[in-house]
């Protein structure tokens, strides 16, 4: 099974960058076979490309309601 873990956000925007910070931590870990991590930044096309050919996708993002 192929799993994509995708971090979304902008590291310059405080909480909005949490997805990117999580991905950076995961890159330093020994992940199970078939798990790939992607820094998708704020580009929706990277999101779609990262999900191509995977069985599951985990999206890490933050949302702040004002």
pLDDT one digit per residue (tens) for the chain, 66 residues = 999 999 998 877 666 788 888 999 999 999 999 999 999 888 888 888 889 999 999 999 887 777
Interacting residues of 54 by C-beta distance below 8 A, sequence separation 6+? 2, 3, 4, 36
Burial profile 3-16: b = 16 or more Cβ within 10 angstroms, e = fewer: bbbbbbbeeeeeeb
**26 burial via Cβ count (<10 Å: 0-12, 13-18, 19+):** middle
């Amino acid at each position: 099974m192929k799993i994509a873990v995708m971090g979304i956000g902008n590291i310059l925007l405080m909480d909005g960058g949490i997805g990117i910070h999580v991905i950076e931590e995961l890159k330093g870990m020994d992940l199970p076979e078939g798990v790939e991590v992607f820094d998708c930044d704020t580009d929706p096309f990277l999101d779609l490309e990262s999900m191509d050919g995977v069985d599951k996708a985990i999206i890490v993002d933050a949302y702040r309601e004002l």
